[in-house]
Structure 1
Amino acid sequence: MNCGVSGSSAPCRRPRRSRKTVLNAEPPIVYADSSALVKLVIEEPESSDLATYLATRETVLATSGVALVEVPRATSVADPAPEVRAETERLLSSCLLVRVGNAVLRSAADLASREVRTLDAIHLASAQLVDADEMLVYDKRLRRAAREVGIAVSHPGTAEA
């Protein structure tokens, strides 16, 4: 499966996993929106809990191609040091990147939830496209919208539901 920015133009969709595949311990796809990825580079109140949460699980970390813009911009505003930029690039290069193509854009436009912002709708559509098992997200509106479409949501380090 190639959802990378430089991959094929075909939509990225992970085949539905059979019970046998699940029993063979295929790593789950955990989709992280940009706010979660920023917490892995810039120290924020939830950063430690999020890093521990991910370190204790074998996962495939996925995100949208929009994170290639959102995350470096946010981390460079918080800390313009070259080391932070390098860490941001390392993190993003380790992620399964979901191409922001027509399939994602159409899906984002068709989302029933009217309360999510445009880029959040793209993140949610991207998570759906890769059949994410879980979504790491800290925005309350996006959490609600993800739950509405049946994606499990986590936000380590917060007490909020």
Structure 2
Amino acid sequence: MTAYFDTSAAVKLVIAEPGSSEAEGIWWDARRVVSSMLMYPESRAALQRARRERRLTDAQLQLAITEFEGLWAHFDRVAVSTILATRAGVLAHDHDLRGYDAVHLASAEIIAWPDVVFVGADRDLCHAARRLGLAVARLPRR
């Protein structure tokens, strides 16, 4: 299986929250893990937000960043090209998605491998992925 992790799923790999054990299981079962290049800044922002919201201490934040950096090295990354950005715009419109969510969906769609499983926690994004014919592993939201 190739697992495409959106940001919500990737963050569950480094912050213990609902869905973390499922995300870890998918990570270990996957032959290959993929995400958009945009997952990096989105994840770092999510980690900082967790600190700001006092879900992480300073020490926990530093550990989460270190763990994330280690995981990031194992991701195959989909670059945001003009073609991908244009497709994301269409998907955002057609499926009423936020911009970064549409980029994740377009990234998962563009790799077009038959064994891709889209891994995420956002209901609307996972629903849109299913409508495009992708297999989906929807994780619980925090």
Q: Give the alignment's TM-score, normalised by structure 1.
A: 0.74
Percent identical residues:
31
Q: Is the 8 A contact 1:30 1:135 kept in 2?
A: yes
The yes-or-no answer on 1:61 pairing with 2:33 is yes
The yes-or-no answer on 1:116 pairing with 2:97 is yes
Q: Distance in 1 between matches of 2:64 and 2:30?
A: 25
Larger helix percent? 2
Q: How does 1:1-161 map to 2 (within 5 A)?
A: 28-55=1-28, 57-78=29-50, 79=56, 80=58, 81-111=61-91, 113-132=94-113, 133-156=116-139, 158=140
Q: Distance in 2 between matches of 1:41 and 1:61?
A: 15
Aligned to 2:53: none
Q: Give the alignment's TM-score, normalised by structure 2.
A: 0.83
1:139 CA displacement: 0.3
Rg larger in structure: 1
Whichever residue aligns with residue 98 of structure 2, its letter is R
Which consecutive residues of structure 1, in runs of 5 or more, have no partner in the other structure? 1-27
1:52 CA displacement: 2.2
Q: CA RMSD in A?
A: 1.6
Q: Distance in 1 between matches of 2:41 and 2:73?
A: 13
SS in 2 for 1:42: coil
How many equivalent pairs are there? Answer: 129
Q: Is the 8 A contact 1:75 1:88 kept in 2?
A: no
1:125 CA displacement: 0.3
